[in-house]
Amino acid sequence: MTPPRRQPARRRTAALATVPVAVAALLGAAGPAAPGTTGASGAGDPYFPLSGNGGYHVRHYGLTLRYDTSSRRLDATAVLTARATQRLTRFDLDLKGLKVTSVTVDRATAAFRRDGQELVITPRHALRRGRGFRVAVAYHGTPEPVTDPDGSADGWIPTDDGAFVAGEPQGAMTWFPADGHPKDKASYDFTITVPKGRTAVANGVLLGQHTAHDTTTFRWRETRPMAAYLATATIGKFQVERYTTRDGIQVYNAVDAREARAAAPVLRELPSVLEWESTLFGPYPFRAAGSIVDHAPDVGYALETQTRPVYDSAPDLPTLVHENAHQWFGDSVSLTTWKDIWLNEGFATYAEWLYTEQHGGRSAQRAFDALYARPASDGLWAYPPGDPGSGARIFGTPVYARGAMALHELRRAVGDRDFLRILRAWATGHRGGHGTTAQFVRLAERTSGKQLEGLLRTWLYAPGKPDSP
C-alpha cells in the first residue's frame, strides 16, 4: 500500500513499544495453539485478534458474485476447500455485515450463527484432523467497508459506477467469508456478474467473459497462493488494455476514462518496471500483471492487490514502482503477523529509492540523509517500524520511511553486492510463502557473514531517533 493522502487517518498515536518486547519480536515467538475441538476465532495476531481463524487451512476459494451497481446489492456463494489442522466440532469464518442464508459442509446442511465478524459453523459431523472438507456459504446484502483502527475505509468501497475493492488489512470479510489473516493463503476462482457496460476485475488471469441480455459475467483465476486481503473484485466503467510482455506475463489494465489521460504515460512503463524489479528481486512471481485505475477520490490510497494493483486515481511512477515491488515483498512473500509490516512497506519504499537512483535521480543515500535531517520531534521517529504498537499505526510514516532507512543501513553495512543478494534470496527463498523479521535477520547474517542483529534492532525496534550513522 502507498502512504495514504488523507494524513490524519494514518497519524494516530499509541504507546511506544518497549525494547524488551521488540527484542522478543526480533527473535520470533510462536502464538498459542487452539485447544480442544473448537477452531479459534482468530489467528492470534496481537493487532487484529479476530482476524483469521484456527483449526483449518483454506486451500481454495471459489467465489460466485452478482453485483447490481444501482441497488448496490450483492448476491453471492463462496465455496471453500479446506483441510482440518485439528479435530473440529466447530469453526469460524470471518464475515461482516452480510446476511447468510445457508451453509453446508461436504454438501450436508450445517448449523451456523453470527457473532460480530465471526460466522460460527457447526458441521453435522466432527471433522477429524487432516481431513479435507468443503464449505459452501450462500449470502447476500449491501456490502459496506469496515473502518480500520486508523480511521480509513477498507474492503468493499462503493463508487459512483461500481466498487473499489481493497482489503488491507481486514476488509476481505466485507464481501466474502474468509480465513482473513495473511498466515492463510489459497488459490482463487472468481465468477463475477455485473450490469452490461461494467467491467469486473479480479486477480490472476482472465479465463473469459460473456454477455447475456443485460449482464456480463467475468471469470478470473489466481492459481498462486494469495492472502485474503489481496483479493479484489473491483467494478466500474473501465477502458481495458491487454498484452503479453516478452517474459510471457499476461497484462490486463483497466482504467476509468476520467483517469485515462493521466494514467497512460505511467502505465506504459509497467513492462520496464517489472523487468527492472525482476533483475533485482528474481523472476516475477505470478503469471499475470496489470493495473486497476479507478476514480475513487474518497479512498485516499492504492493497494498491491495480487497481480494487479488497484489505484484510486492515476498513479505516478514511484507509486507504480512501489505497488509492483509488493508483488515480491508482501504478496509472494507474506507476513505472519501485522507488526512485521515493515517487511512489506519498508521494502517497497526502498524499491522506489533504488529505482530513482538507477534511473538518473537522487541516490538512496541522499533520500536517507534528507529523512535523517528531520528533528527528533518529527513524526518519523514517533515509534519503531518493526513493532508499530497497534493496528492504528501500521500505515504510518515510520513503517514506510524508517523501514526503508533500516534497509539502507543494512546496505551500508554489508555493501551493495551482498545487499542485493539478500533481497533476491529473501524474495526467491520465501516465494509463495511467509517470512518474519527474525528470518530476514538470519538470512542477512548468513549471506554477509556479519553480525547484524544489533544494527537492525536499533533501526527496527529502538524508540526515538537513532544515533547518527
Residue 4's pLDDT is what?
62
Residue 2's pLDDT is what?
79
Computed on alpha carbons and rounded to an integer, the radius of gyration of the chain in Å comes to: 22
Chunked mean pLDDT (size 10), the chain, 469 residues? 50 31 36 64 95 97 98 98 97 98 98 97 97 98 97 97 98 98 98 98 98 97 98 98 97 98 98 98 98 97 98 98 98 97 98 98 98 98 97 98 98 98 98 98 98 97 89
Residue 319's pLDDT is what?
98
Residue 1's pLDDT is what?
85
List the grid coordinates of 406: 533500516
Instruction: Please give the model's pTM, rounded to 2 decimal places.
Output: 0.92
Residue 114's pLDDT is what?
97
